[in-house]
Amino acid sequence: MKTVTDIKNLLVSESAVPVFERQLILSHVLVQPRSWLIAHDTDVISEVYAHDYHAKLTRREAGEPIAYIVGYKDFWKHRFAVNPATLIPRPETELLVELALSARAATPCHVLDLGTGSGAIAVSLADERRQWSVLANDISASALKIARGNSRSLANLQFFNGCWTDAVAFDSVDMIVSNPPYIAPDDNHLLGLTHEPRGALVSAEAGMSDIESIITGSRKVLVSGGTLVLEHGYCQQDAVCRTLEVAGYEYIELFNDLGGIPRAVRAKRP
Ligand SMILES: C[S@@+](CC[C@H](N)C(=O)[O-])C[C@H]1O[C@@H](n2cnc3c(N)ncnc32)[C@H](O)[C@@H]1O
């Protein structure tokens, strides 16, 4: 096979993509860790690999998220496969995992993750708490295929295709966790989110429509004393709180993410 260049020269070539991301792309192409690239920076690589690297770099330069290019995103303690059918899990969503873990003892408990996407929340919870039984749904069959592939064969985790709490029996769930779509259809942030599925991001009524459906539906399927943990948008905490109060939830707690932005609520069904 014809050789073209060494790793060092390939990585310093002209590009607006940060070096860290270039390394991620090349380590993905060569199926080697980043540390290997540094230790082998004078190794020459074949034309096939160089071509693959440049093709992926071009996609990144065009604005495609790095996670879709390399096909994964790290979340909590694991690496999750992602593709354009799934939202790319965000670091701030790890707050939901913390809130769920701290809400209940490590004793048997039925947990539901609504809108699981890549399965990031459900897999993290099922892995952390083997005593819990975790059920996760999504309306997107394509996202569920990815989530199932990410499930690490956990015996306490199951997925189903469905709309929020529609197919869930009343008074049957101890805790519901959800990161639903919550961006308003006219929000300018959407201009920078053109690669992810719109159905994972956008919700009607100023971004509140799905949150309201989940709050109302969860009130029926949670057991008395059951917990709801919800992520929401940066300006929605007051509205989410009011909706919870009107629906009759108690012990409403409000949380900021690591950036200090209001990001999640936790509440109990009386
Ligand atoms: C913001 S994404 C969250 C994905 C994942 N839980 C995470 O945190 O990375 C919202 C998810 O809800 C799903 N979804 C949208 N509408 C739904 C509905 N009516 N019922 C169930 N899932 C829905 C989307 O397909 C998407 O996977």
> What would the pLDDT profile of 221-268 be if each residue is shown by its tens digit?
999 999 999 999 999 999 999 999 999 999 999 999 999 999 999 999
Distance CA 138, CA 136 (A): 7
Task: Kindly give the distance from the C-alpha atom of residue 138 to the centroid of ligand 1, in angstroms, as a whole number.
Answer: 6
Over residues 40-91, the pLDDT tens digits come to 999 999 999 999 999 999 999 999 999 999 999 999 999 999 999 999 999 9
Sign, CA dihedral 144-138-268-257, equals positive
Instruction: Tell me the chain's radius of gyration from C-alpha atoms.
Output: 21
Distance of alpha carbon 28 from alpha carbon 214, whole angstroms: 38
Chain segment 181-219, per-residue pLDDT in tens: 999 999 999 999 999 999 999 999 999 999 999 999 999
With contact defined as beta carbons under 8 Å apart, do 185 and 201 qualify? no
CB of 203 sitting under 6 A from ligand 1: no
The pTM of this model reads 0.95
Q: How far is CA 22 from CA 31, 102, 139, 207, in A?
A: 14, 38, 34, 35
Instruction: Tell me if 117 CB under 6 Å of ligand 1.
Output: yes
Name the architecture of domain 3-63.
Orthogonal Bundle (1.10)
Nearest C-alpha to atom 9 of ligand 1 is from which residue? Answer: 89
Residue 107 pLDDT > 50:
yes
What are the boundaries of each domain within the chain?
A: 3-63, 85-268
Q: Domain 85-268: give its CATH architecture.
A: 3-Layer(aba) Sandwich (3.40)
Query: Ligand 1: distance of its center to the CA of 168 in Å?
Result: 16
| Ligand 1 close to Cβ of residue 87 (< 6 A) | yes
Q: Which residue, judged by its Cα, is nearest atom 6 of ligand 1?
A: 116
Classify residue 6 as exposed, middle or buried by CB count within 10 Å of its CB (0-12, 13-18, 19+).
middle
How does residue 106 score in pLDDT terms, banded at 50, 70 and 90? confident
The residue whose C-alpha atom lies closest to atom 26 belonging to ligand 1 is: 200
Q: How far apart are CA 31 and CA 236, in angstroms?
A: 42
Q: How far is the CA of 198 from the centre of ligand 1 (A)?
A: 10
pLDDT for position 5: 87
For ligand 1, the distance from its centroid to the CA atom of residue 75, given in whole angstroms, is: 16
Q: Looking up tokens 């390399």, which residue turns up?
A: 70
For position 4, what pLDDT does the model report? 65
* pLDDT score at 3: 52
